[in-house]
Amino acid sequence: MHMNFSADELAFEQKVAAFVSENLPADIKDKVDRGIELTREEVRRWMEILGQKGWAATNWDKKDGGPGFTIAEKFLAEDAIFMNGAPKMVHFGTRMVGPVLLAFGTDAQKAKYVPKILTSEEVWCQGYSEPQAGSDLAQLQCSAELDGDEYVVNGTKIWTTSAHCADRMFALVRTSKEARKQEGITCLLIDLKAPGVEIRPIITLDGKHVFNQEFFDNVRVPVSDRIGEEGDGWKIAKFLLGHERSNATYVSMNKRNLRKLKEIMADQRADGERLADDPGFVRKLADLEQDMLATTTMAMRQLAAASADKPVGAEASIMKLRVMDAYKQCHELMMEAGAYYAQPFERGHIRGEANTEWVGPDYLYRMSPDYFESRAMSIAGGSHEIQKDILAKRALGL
Amino acid sequence: MDMTFTPAEQAFRREVQAFVAENLPAPIARKVADGVEMTRDDMSTWMQILAKQGWLATNWEQKDGGPGWSTAQKHIFEEECAAAGAPDIIPFGTRMVGPVLLAFGTPEQKAKYLPGIVSGEMLWCQGYSEPGAGSDLAQLQLSAKLDGDEYVVNGTKIWTTQAHMADMIFVLARTDNSGRKQDGVTCLLIDMKAPGVTVRPIITIDGRHRFNQEFFDDVRVPVADRVGEAGDGWRIAKYLLGHERSNAAGVAGAVRMLKKLRAIAKAERAEGETLMQDQDFRRTLADVETRLEVLRMTAMRNLARASADKPVGAEASVVKLGMAEIRKDISELSMQAGAYYANPFDPKAIREGWGNQQPIGADYIFKLAPDYFEMRARSIAGGSNEIQKNIIAKRTLGL
Amino acid sequence: MDFELSEDQVLLQESVTRFVADNYSFEQRRKLVDTDQGYSDKQWSQFAELGWLGMPFAEDVGGYGGTPVETMVVLEEFGKGLVAEPYISTIVLGGGALVHGGTAAQQQELIPQVAEGNLKLALGFAERQSRYNLADVQTKAEKSGVDYVLSGMKSVVFGAPTANKFIVSARTGGAARDEGGISLFLVDADASGVSVRGYPTVDGMRAGEVTLDGVKVGADALMGAEGEGFGALETTIDYAIAATAAEAVGAMSALNDMTLEYIKTREQFGQPIGKFQVLQHRMVDMFIAHEEAKSMAMMAAMRIDDEDPNERRKAASATKVQIAKSARFVGQQAIQLHGGIGMTDEYAAGHYFKRLTMIDRSYGDGDYHLARFGAVS
Ligand SMILES: Cc1cc2nc3c(=O)[nH]c(=O)nc-3n(C[C@H](O)[C@H](O)[C@H](O)COP(=O)(O)OP(=O)(O)OC[C@H]3O[C@@H](n4cnc5c(N)ncnc54)[C@H](O)[C@@H]3O)c2cc1C
Ligand SMILES: Cc1cc2nc3c(=O)[nH]c(=O)nc-3n(C[C@H](O)[C@H](O)[C@H](O)COP(=O)(O)OP(=O)(O)OC[C@H]3O[C@@H](n4cnc5c(N)ncnc54)[C@H](O)[C@@H]3O)c2cc1C
Ligand SMILES: Cc1cc2nc3c(=O)[nH]c(=O)nc-3n(C[C@H](O)[C@H](O)[C@H](O)COP(=O)(O)OP(=O)(O)OC[C@H]3O[C@@H](n4cnc5c(N)ncnc54)[C@H](O)[C@@H]3O)c2cc1C
């Protein structure tokens, strides 16, 4: 039993780190650092840089066009990418649509979509949730009716992250109301530029534009853009759940946020000293850092198990719960560190549209918005309550 | 809005203080302070002292033989008793059986039992729970079959606090299995010395003897000792739940625990200073103190409502839940204050005190861990926290 | 990176598991801890035969060259049965002090006796005023010719009633709470001036107050250099933290199993109480608490022998904080989920809860180690 990465693995990490520091555009790095919303162009620029290096799909095998990293390398690559200031991005293409196409797609579909996913030329989003179908996803109603060799799609999707930056959506739609709810669901790939698609931005409580609602009004989708058979949608979504919970990303995010928190503590003053010397605050920091150490250790345990081809199972849900809790806690502390300066809020700054001076130190500006944003971590992608239900059922047999 | 007591109430407070100071026997006060187990003698001594003053059945009307106090007076009395370190009285007589008999008893039952309850000479216990019926009390199975003018009782009750000291037990028994579960439940008053009753002590994790299991083997109970009609038991039990205890004793008890904790923290050393000077400790203490203050204020609000004859609903449960948590937390902090000295365990000292033996560490330390363990029951007994929350969710929030 | 046990370690684990299954049913343990001594000499000899007593010691002093991982394996299984033999006091604390602070001669002489089961040790490091600060030592050791004279009192010395030898920290110099000036001494339990007031502890183990009243020991009783014992003591306690962390993980796992089984079978309102979502989620939180503790206990086993003392301290303190959080939650909720029966002495859950609670009262509680972790990380 040991917890060390090999010399090769560490050298690999260095290599990734070097690549990111050389190639991450300074303007993007600066915006990330200050928590300013990235534009569609910026998101795509960075994704393409990674794509050209062949690192957009860190989780893909060589035979599929990925870099064929080992599990440890994947972990280290993610870590190096984040720790060097890259934006947090939702890689729906490489993490979701890609694996699905590889597993269930036709040759034609693979040829059409996979290369552009690998280079990030095409950006994807995930259309699952609907106003009436959240935790109870099987309740979804967005309908697709067959008309010749096309589906006609009507209905709405909501909370769709980055739909406004995306070219295409991977959607779950209802093709039958007859059978069991789960069996009437089908996967479609929808072109967001198709006639009849309307995207309405939804501003989140932190003032950013993160997600959207889409309306589909007689949108025509060729049958050739259906994945699997009609009614296979639920099975495919379940397949993805296993892939989606790559919470290792958040382990690295947490590490980066912790670093930021420490910088803030070193700069903020309290009682004439640095906040970093305030025993009450240091204690909270220690508590958080201990928590993060525990989740990191757990992540390593899972990583080691996965590398040894042992089933990871329920532990993935545990990771989601604990990593997201730490994420939220860290943001809360950063906001707390700001004291009064957590209060000023000008949306233009957060969105990168203002040309006035920041009020107070510029790093403080984003702290409360980030805190508000962080609340989503226990809601999106299967809420904490749902994760616990899953664990109760799968891991404990309750 | 006014948070002060009237001059009359303040005078009453002084009267209670003076009475308790004069009459609480020193050895009993000492045992309470040391957390030593009370004997039956201790309990009845104190209860009878109160009874002689007319202050045992504090919740009773004057016409029934109680002092006929206002809500504020009851509150003050409980607060002062707890603050002075008087033991909690065994409540089952005056708080449970008494009110039930006053409401549902026959004249004969009242004549037979009320005097002993008011005088504190007859001690009672509450036989509700069974091995298979805890939170789901309606599931109870203790059977009582009519045979002439007697019920023949068979079965068992468990977790019965102070059954080993009691003369009588107030039980819920099943007289009918046919209809809705709740409709077949009947209240009986059973003499603990009746043939066929056996009491098995159950020792709790803190090493003390507080509750018991009773077995009933063809125990004959005269129909005259049935309260209400057959099948009224559930209604009567629910009536009692409505007689929610005031939170005053709880709050005052917590205040006393906190005072004790502060004294410990001033006596224990850490880093060459007192534990009280330790930043971390003080922060945790301050946290508990502010929470207690919140509960105290809520209790005051309830008191004001009750005094104005307005219904006190969920607020009382909120204080009850909060009190359970805070008392658990204070006991935990007290144990933490003991550091390594939370480890030693002397079962004899827990029951009888150190006597003339030299205490291990300091005389207050050895019981801190047992008290912490004992406090865990706060969120289980008499309707667990989960059940309390279910009830608030249902009744108050309409969920 | 590798979190798997080696083949030998798996074999060791199996043999400890078997021992616990055969000898530590709840009833067997209750009987045992209610005896005067509180543990079994026969089982202690069996530990010796199985090689567990020599496990962590180097081969050249009569041990089996085990690493902290082996200690973790043994103690995790011990935790599942709440094994009452003084393994931690003799092997981890006493033995650890010999390893980290003893002279070669002391090790050569004593470790083989420990490994054979003929010598029991106890380490006295806490005092009435010290709480968890190992440097808060008032016991004095004064030079008297070539000898030392020890006086003072050592508090809550685990395993004291049956120890043959004590290792105690005493001040040979320096001011109150200085790390410098602390020395470790070997003291025979039957030396003149040594008195032990033994007692059971809350968790059914044994400890004692050890009074040293002008106890004379020779220069060969001094462990290492005079005034430089603190480092060895601190290291030993950090190893003890790693070991008890594993024990706590074992105890939590047994307690969780027991509670899960209970809520699946206990019926109220016409269904198993495990069908109520609040209890399901609570049980999930308990499950997670155990998993986290396990991760950290593994981390401690892998990092506690780090050459960098700061890394060692960090690993020990972070682990102890985790154990404090997890054990508290698992213990308290296990009682809550059992209801009335959880409160009784005749049911196993309370005993696990008590051991877990006392582990937090040993070697520094969660608060203490959170502050220490904050200071070193
Ligand atoms: C920032 C953000 C980004 C998102 N991005 C996407 C995206 O890209 N694509 C997409 O399809 N969706 C996305 N979502 C939607 C997300 O998956 C849903 O919000 C989530 O599944 C919860 O559904 P809901 O919002 O309808 O809440 P509901 O399901 O209505 O839940 C409300 C509350 O009830 C609780 N609850 C529900 N059922 C149970 C139960 N059985 N037991 C106990 N508690 C229960 C929930 O935990 C929650 O606390 C995003 C959400 C957020 C916040
Ligand atoms: C110290 C002490 C003194 C007591 N004194 C007396 C006494 O004098 N007389 C007497 O009759 N009884 C007494 N009791 C018994 C007490 O009232 C019961 O323990 C209590 O009602 C819980 O019942 P149970 O122990 O059977 O637990 P269970 O009902 O089996 O409960 C086990 C767990 O399941 C939870 N649970 C049960 N149902 C639900 C639900 N629907 N939703 C969510 N969670 C649920 C509970 O909250 C608990 O955590 C005493 C108990 C204690 C601990
Ligand atoms: C000695 C003793 C003293 C007690 N003292 C008090 C007290 O002072 N105050 C107090 O509030 N309670 C007290 N209780 C708690 C008592 O157990 C419950 O209040 C009572 O059992 C609920 O009555 P009910 O069966 O009519 O359930 P309800 O009133 O219908 O419901 C009460 C609880 O049971 C749950 N429940 C009911 N039916 C079901 C079902 N079919 N499936 C799942 N859950 C269900 C509800 O969610 C809720 O938690 C005491 C219990 C004992 C044993």
Residue with tokens 């060390």: A4
Q: Does A397 touch chain B (CB under 8 A)?
A: no
CA angle in degrees (0–180, nearest 5) for A174-A178-A182: 50
Going by alpha carbons, the residue nearest to atom 9 of ligand 1 is A160
The pLDDT value recorded for residue A315 is 75
| Chains sharing 3 or more CB pairs under 8 A with chain C | A, B
The answer to whether the CB of B386 is under 6 A from ligand 2 is yes
A312 contacts in C (CB within 8 Å)? Answer: none
What is the length of chain B? 399
Q: Which residues of A238-257 are buried (b: 16+ CB within 10 A; e: fewer)?
A: ebbeeebbbbbbbbbbbbbb
Is B277 an 8 Å CB contact of chain C?
no
Whether residue A30 is predicted with pLDDT greater than 80 in this model: the reply is yes
- Collapsing DSSP to helix, strand or coil, A106 comes out as coil
Residue with tokens 């199993």: C257
In whole angstroms, give the CA distance from residue B367 to residue B32: 12
Q: Kindly state the tokens that stand for B161.
A: 């606090």
Which pLDDT tens digit goes with each residue over A237-248?
888 776 655 667
With vertex at residue C142, the alpha carbon angle to CA C140 and CA C144, rounded to the nearest 5 degrees, is 155
A1 contacts C6? CB cut-off 8 A? yes
**A168-174 vs A124-127, strand pairing mode:** parallel
Cβ-based contacts of C287 with chain A (< 8 Å): 318, 391, 395-396
How many Å lie between the alpha carbon of B248 and the closest alpha carbon of chain C? 25
Is the CB of residue B227 less than 8 Å from the CB of residue B109? yes
* pLDDT for res A247: 67
For residue C267, report the distance from its CA to the centre of ligand 2, in Å: 12
Output the six-digit token pair for C250: 């074992």
What is the enclosing helix (H) or strand (E) of B350? Answer: helix B347-352
Q: Is the pLDDT of residue A310 over 80?
A: no
**A286 touching B, CB under 8 A?**
no
Distance C335 CA to ligand 1 centre (A): 33
Residue A162 has pLDDT above 60, yes or no: yes
**Nearest by CB: C133 against B271, B336, B380:** B271
Q: How far does residue A383's CA lie from ligand 1's centre (Å)?
A: 6
Instruction: Please give the Cα distance from B145 to B132 (Å, whole number).
Output: 20
pLDDT score, position A245? 53
Q: For residue C312, list chain A residues with Cβ-Cβ distance below 8 A.
A: none
Cα–Cα dist B310/B303, whole Å: 10
Specify if B96 maps to a domain. Answer: no
Residue B280 in contact with partner chain A when CB distance is under 8 A: yes
Tokens representing residue B38 in the block: 């009370």
In chain A, residues with a C-beta closer than 8 Å to the C-beta of B285 are none
Q: Which of C202, C270, C335 is opposite residue B342, by nearest beta carbon?
A: C202
What residues of C are in contact with residue B331 (Cβ under 8 Å)? Answer: none
Residues making up chain C, counted from first to last: 377
Is residue B244 predicted with pLDDT exceeding 70?
Answer: no
Cα C119 to the center of its chain, rounded Å: 18
Q: Is B357 on the interface with C (CB under 8 A)?
A: no
DSSP string, B164-226: TT-SEEEEEEE---SS-GGGGEEEEEEETTSTTEEEEEEEBTTS-EEEEEEEEEEEEEEGGGE
Among all residues of chain A, which has the CA nearest to that of C294? A298
**CB contact B393 to C (< 8 Å):** no
**Chain A contacts in chain C segment 89-118 (CB below 8 A):** none
Query: What residue owns the CA closest to ligand 3's atom 36?
Result: C269
Question: Which residue range(s) make up the domain with B379?
Answer: 246-395
Same domain, B185 and B310: no
| Mean pLDDT within A350-378 | 86
Instruction: Clarify whether residues B391 and B266 are in a common domain.
Output: yes
| Residue after which a domain boundary falls, among B89, B110, B133 | B89
Those chains having 3 or more beta-carbon pairs within 8 angstroms of chain B are A, C
Q: What are phi and psi of A152, to 5 degrees?
A: -110, 115
Q: Are residues B255 and B381 in the same domain?
A: yes
Give dist(CA B325, CA A59) in Å, integer.
47
3-state SS record for C109-123: HHHHHHHHCCCCEEE
Closest listed ligand to the CA of A205: 1
Of A369-378, B104-113, B309-318, B382-391, where does the model show the most confidence?
B104-113
**CB of A330 closer than 8 Å to CB of A370:** no
The verdict on a CB contact (< 8 Å) between C373 and A283 is no
The whole-angstrom separation of Cα A300 and Cα A60 is: 20
Last residue within a domain, chosen from B202, B230, B258: B230
Confidence of residue B277 (pLDDT cuts 50, 70, 90): very high
Kindly state the helix (H) or strand (E) to which residue B389 belongs, with its residue range.
Answer: helix B385-391
Confidence of residue A152 (pLDDT cuts 50, 70, 90): very high
Q: Is C158 exposed, middle or buried (0-12, 13-18, 19+ CB in 10 A)?
A: buried
Q: In this structure, is residue B264 part of a structural domain? A: yes
| Residue B301 located in a structural domain | yes
Task: Please list, in sequence order, all residues whose beta carbon lies within 8 angstroms of the beta carbon of residue C246, skipping any fewer than 6 positions away.
Answer: C71, C72, C73, C74, C75, C76, C79, C297, C300, C301
What are A256's strand-pairing partners? none
For chain B, the domain total comes to 3
Q: Rounded to whole angstroms, what are the CA distances from A339 to A207, A332, A334?
A: 20, 11, 9
Higher confidence at residue C19 or residue B303? C19
Q: Of the residues B205, B230, B255, which one is the last residue of a structural domain?
A: B230
* String of DSSP letters for B107-164: HHHHHHHHHHHHHT-S-EEEE--BTTBSSSGGG---EEEEETTEEEEEEEEEEEETTT
User: Is the minimum CB–CB distance between C73 and chain A shorter than 8 Å?
Assistant: no
Q: Which of B170, B127, B12, B27 is nearest to B87 (CA)?
A: B27
Local confidence band at A314 (pLDDT 50, 70, 90 cut-offs): confident
For residues B153-182, give the mean pLDDT: 96
Q: Are C175 and C185 in contact (CB under 8 A)?
A: no
Asked whether the beta carbons of A70 and A13 are under 8 A apart, the reply is: no
- Asked if residue B161 and residue B254 are part of one domain, the reply reads no
**Amino acid letter, residue A328:** K
- Whether residues B264 and B379 share a domain: the answer is yes
Question: pTM of the full predicted structure?
Answer: 0.92
Decide whether any atom of ligand 2 lies within 6 Å of the C336 Cβ. yes
Q: Which residues of C touch B373 (CB under 8 A)?
A: 350, 353-354, 357
pLDDT confidence of residue A312: 66
Are residues B160 and B257 located together in one domain of the fold? no
| Average pLDDT score over residue span A356-381 | 87
Q: Encode pLDDT of A248-303 as tens digits.
A: 778 899 999 999 999 999 999 888 999 999 999 999 999 999 999 999 999 888 88
Q: What is the pLDDT of residue A366?
A: 85
Indicate yes or no: CB of C370 within 8 angstroms of CB of A2: no
At residue A292, the pLDDT reads 96
Ligand nearest to the CA of B237: 3
pLDDT of residue C309: 96
Q: What gap in Å lies between CA C258 and CA C76, rounded to an integer?
A: 16
b/e sequence A1-36, b meaning 16+ C-beta within 10 Å: bebebeeeeeebbeebbebbeeebeeebbebbeebb
Cβ of C340 below 6 Å from ligand 2: yes
Token representation of residue B233: 């038991």
Which residues of chain C are under the pLDDT cut of 50?
A: none
B379 and B250 housed in the same domain: yes
Q: Which residue of C has its CA nearest to B284?
A: C367
Neighbouring CB atoms inside 10 A of A280's CB total: 12
Greater confidence (B33 vs C118) lies with C118
B280 neighbourhood in chain A, CB within 8 Å: 279, 283
In a domain, B2, yes or no: no
Residue pair A278/A289 in contact (Cβ under 8 Å)? The answer is no
Ligand nearest B211 Cα, by number? Answer: 2
Which residues fall within 8 angstroms of residue C132, CB to CB, at 6 or more apart?
B339, B340, C126, C363, C364, C365, C368
Ligand 1 pocket, mutate which of A97, A141, A159, A377 (most atoms under 8 A from CB)? A159
Helical spans, DSSP H, in chain A: 7-23, 26-34, 40-53, 71-83, 92, 98-104, 107-118, 233-244, 248-267, 279-307, 315-337, 347-350, 367-374, 384-394
CB contact under 8 A, C280 and A392: yes
Our answer on whether the CB atom of B390 is closer than 6 Å to any ligand 2 atom is yes
Average pLDDT rounded to a whole number, residues A177-188: 93
Query: What pLDDT is attached to residue A346?
Result: 84
| Contact at CB, B369 and C357, closer than 8 angstroms | yes
- Chains touching A, CB cut-off 8 Å, 3+ pairs: B, C
**Residues 6 or more apart in contact with residue B66 via CB below 8 angstroms:** B54, B57, B58, B59, B60, B118
- The pLDDT tens digits of the residues spanning B325-342 come to 999 999 999 999 999 999
Tell which of A75, A383, A398 to mutate to test the C interface (max C CBs under 10 Å): A398
Residues B79 and B132 in one domain: no
Active site residues of B: 244
Pairing type for strands C194-200 and B226-227 reads: unpaired
Query: Residues near C27 by Cβ (< 8 Å), separated by ≥ 6?
Result: none
Residue A283 to chain B, least CA–CA distance (Å): 9
pLDDT per residue as tens digits for the range A103-132: 999 999 999 999 999 888 899 999 999 999
Instruction: Establish if B307 belongs to a structural domain.
Output: yes
Give the closest ligand to the alpha carbon of residue B166. Answer: 2
Residue B249 binned pLDDT confidence (cut-offs 50, 70, 90):
low
pLDDT band, residue A363 (cuts 50/70/90): confident
What whole-number distance in Å separates Cα of residue A223 and Cα of residue A230? 10
B302 and B375, same structural domain? yes
Spatial separation of the C-alpha atoms in residues A201 and A203, rounded to whole Å: 6
Say if B303 falls within a structural domain: yes
Within 10 A of B132 (CB to CB), how many other CB atoms are there?
14
Does the C-beta of A374 come closer than 6 Å to ligand 1? no
**Domains with residue ranges and CATH for chain A:** 7-89 (no CATH), 124-231 (2.40.110.10), 246-395 (1.20.140.10)
User: Within 6 Å (CB) of ligand 3, which residues are found?
Assistant: B 126, 128-129, 135-138, 241, 382-383, 387-388, 390-391; C 269-270
How far apart, in Å, do the first and last CA atoms of chain A sit?
A: 33
Residue with CA at minimum distance from ligand 3 atom 19: B383
Q: Does the pLDDT at position B245 exceed 60?
A: no
Structural domains of chain C sorted by starting position, each given as residue range(s) with its CATH number in brackets: 7-119 (1.10.540.10), 122-228 (2.40.110.10), 231-376 (1.20.140.10)
**Residues C340, B380 contacting (CB under 8 angstroms):** yes
Q: Give the integer Cα–Cα distance in Å for C290 and B284.
A: 25
Question: Which of A368-377, B362-371, C63-72, C230-239 has the lowest average pLDDT?
Answer: B362-371
Q: Does some domain include residue B111?
A: no
Average pLDDT for A91-100: 88
Residue with tokens 């098995």: B200
> Are B69 and B195 within one domain?
no
Closest residue in chain C to residue A384, using alpha carbons only: C281
In a domain, B353, yes or no: yes
- Answer with the residue of higher pLDDT: B350 or A13: A13
Same domain, B221 and B359: no
The CB of B159 under 6 Å from ligand 2? The reply is: yes
Q: Is the pLDDT of residue A382 over 90?
A: no
User: How remote is the CA of residue A61 from the centroid of ligand 2, in Å?
Assistant: 55
What was the pLDDT predicted at B34?
79
Percent of chain B beyond pLDDT 90? 70
Q: What is the CATH number of the domain that holds B287?
A: 1.20.140.10
Q: What residues of C are in contact with residue B386 (Cβ under 8 Å)? A: 276, 278-279
Q: What is chain B's mean pLDDT, rounded?
A: 91
Residue B288 host element (H or E): helix B279-307
pLDDT band, residue B238 (cuts 50/70/90): confident
pLDDT value for B156: 98
Retrieve residue B297's tokens. 């204020």
Looking at all shown ligands, the one closest to residue B202's CA atom is 2
- Dist CA C180 CA C246 (whole Å): 31
> HEC states along chain C?
CECCCCHHHHHHHHHHHHHHHHHCCHHHHHHHHHCCCCCCHHHHHHHHHHCCCCCCCCHHHCCCCCCHHHHHHHHHHHHHHCCCCCHHHHHHHHHHHHHHHCCHHHHHHHHHHHHHCCCCEEEECECCCCCCCCCCCCCEEEEECCEEEEEEEEEEEECHHHCCEEEEEEECCCCCCCCCCEEEEEEECCCCCEEEEEEEECCCCEEEEEEEEEEEECHHHEECCCCECHHHHHHHHHHHHHHHHHHHHHHHHHHHHHHHHHHHHCEECCEEHHHCHHHHHHHHHHHHHHHHHHHHHHHHHHHCCCCCHHHHHHHHHHHHHHHHHHHHHHHHHHHHHHHHHHHECCCHHHHHHHHHHHHHCCCCCHHHHHHHHHHHC
Task: Say yes or no: A287 contacts chain B, CB-CB below 8 A.
Answer: no
Whether B200 and B284 map to the same domain: the answer is: no
CATH of the domain at B174: 2.40.110.10
> How many of the other CB atoms lie within 10 Å of CB of B259?
12
